Amino acid sequence: MARVLTVTLNPALDLAIRVGPLRLGEVNRTESTRIDAAGKGINVARVLRRLGHDVTVSGLLGADNETAFLRAFAACGLHDAFIRVPGETRINAKLSEPDGRVTDLNGSGPRIPAHSLEALTERLWTLLPGLDAIAICGSLPPNVTPTQLAELVTVIRQFRVPVWLDTSGPALLAGLAARPTGAKPNETELAEWAGRPLDTPEERLRAALRLNAEGVDDVLLSAGAEGVIWARRGTALMAASPRVQVVSTVGAGDTLLAGTLHGVLSGWPRERGLRFATALAAESVRHIGVGDPDATDFEQLQQQTEVRGLTVDPLPGETHG
């Protein structure tokens, strides 16, 4: 059992709504609704705890509506190391339609007092010794800057603890410049880092390998139905997901990251870890919520997940680690 910390700077109460075909401007009846204490790092923590790891959750949490989070942490067996901040944690609404399309309506989150961010850094200093891995996940609150996120990555790296990053936009660009151990962009986010469109699998692979060469050891690239690429220190694998009926893609990326970390922390061969993580992410899209490794057909999903090596010839002047 590994000791893992997830950091969620901008958690959310996720209001998941399933509807029939959405008719804009009209009254729509819901098929189901549920509200969960969430945030990408908390989702990753849920999966890792279910897989047997000792997981602490931290970040910045609104003090005025923390009850759902406290219940979730207790139910999942997660250690609570969040810093409380004034105000309410945001609410994100996610509308899921029968064809698998999900529309997100995300709140921006509360403004963070300077002393709360300082308190978080101090708390992380106390938590870092003895950890096996850290995952920093999700968006930033309105007044937390990408530079501050990069500084957080730098602080963690001083302890030589592997740190994985899953965010987007300017936060991802700044965080990657701080050279985390691993990152989980999607194809759009990787293209933003590369500064140009990445329209083919070969172009995405080249960009992932270039990110390896620039100091990010592991790049886990999720490309939806096109599969998953895992580039590590100049070599790459690709997994093709099993075919499943899609109900909701919310939490699939978090499940993928957690499954991959589980394989790394367990010392598995990369092929086994990627197959496990990809199958678990596929399991998650069949329902609302993160993936369930205890699903009765999970072994079958793994058997249906194809993993193969990828190679690409370097361009002139290009290196791959």
251-267 confidence digits (pLDDT tens): 899 999 999 999 999 99
Q: Does the residue 98 lie in any domain? A: yes
35-94 confidence digits (pLDDT tens): 889 999 999 999 999 999 999 999 999 999 999 999 999 999 999 999 999 999 999 998
DSSP 225: G
Helix/strand/coil for 96: strand
pLDDT above 70 for 236: yes
Q: Does the residue 318 lie in any domain? A: no
Number of domains in the chain: 1
Q: How many angstroms separate the Cα of 232 from the Cα of each of 1, 24, 193, 218, 237? A: 24, 44, 18, 5, 9
Q: Does the residue 319 lie in any domain? A: no
Give residue 88's domain range. Answer: 3-310
Q: Does the residue 9 lie in any domain? A: yes
Confirm if 277 and 241 have CB atoms less than 8 A apart. no
Q: Does the residue 44 lie in any domain? A: yes
pLDDT value of residue 97: 86
Could you give the CA distance from residue 86 to residue 66 in angstroms, rounded to a whole number?
11
DSSP 186: B
**What is the helix (H) or strand (E) element at residue 240, kind and residue range?**
strand 235-240
pLDDT above 90 for 237: yes
Expressed in percent and rounded to 5, the helix, strand and coil fractions of the chain are 35, 25, 35
Tell me the average pLDDT across 173-200.
Answer: 95
pLDDT value of residue 316: 53
Tell me the average pLDDT across 19-47.
Answer: 93
Q: Does the residue 222 lie in any domain? A: yes
Could you give the CA distance from residue 90 to residue 69 in angstroms, rounded to a whole number?
12
Q: How many angstroms separate the Cα of 255 from the Cα of each of 47, 48, 184, 218, 269? A: 7, 9, 11, 17, 19
Tell me the average pLDDT across 191-199.
Answer: 94
Tokens of 17: 């709504």
pLDDT value of residue 262: 98
Q: Does the residue 321 lie in any domain? A: no
Q: Does the residue 317 lie in any domain? A: no
Tell me the average pLDDT across 202-227.
Answer: 92
pLDDT value of residue 130: 92
How many C-beta atoms surround the C-beta of residue 249 within 10 A? 16
Could you give the CA distance from residue 2 to residue 33 in angstroms, rounded to a whole number?
34
For 201, counting Cβ atoms within 10 Å of its Cβ (0-12 exposed, 13-18 middle, 19+ buried), the class is middle
- Where b means 16+ CB within 10 Å and e means fewer, 36-69 reads bbbbbbbbbbbbbbbbebbbbbbbbbbeeebeeb
Predicted structure pTM score: 0.92
CATH number of the domain encompassing residue 62: 3.40.1190.20
Model confidence band, residue 226 (pLDDT cutoffs 50, 70, 90): confident
Could you give the CA distance from residue 208 to residue 237 in angstroms, rounded to a whole number?
11
Model confidence band, residue 312 (pLDDT cutoffs 50, 70, 90): confident
297 is known as an active-site residue? no
pLDDT above 80 for 245: yes
Model confidence band, residue 320 (pLDDT cutoffs 50, 70, 90): low
| Active-site residue identified among 218, 254, 294, 313 | 254
268-304 confidence digits (pLDDT tens): 999 999 999 999 999 999 988 899 999 999 999 999 9
pLDDT value of residue 317: 56
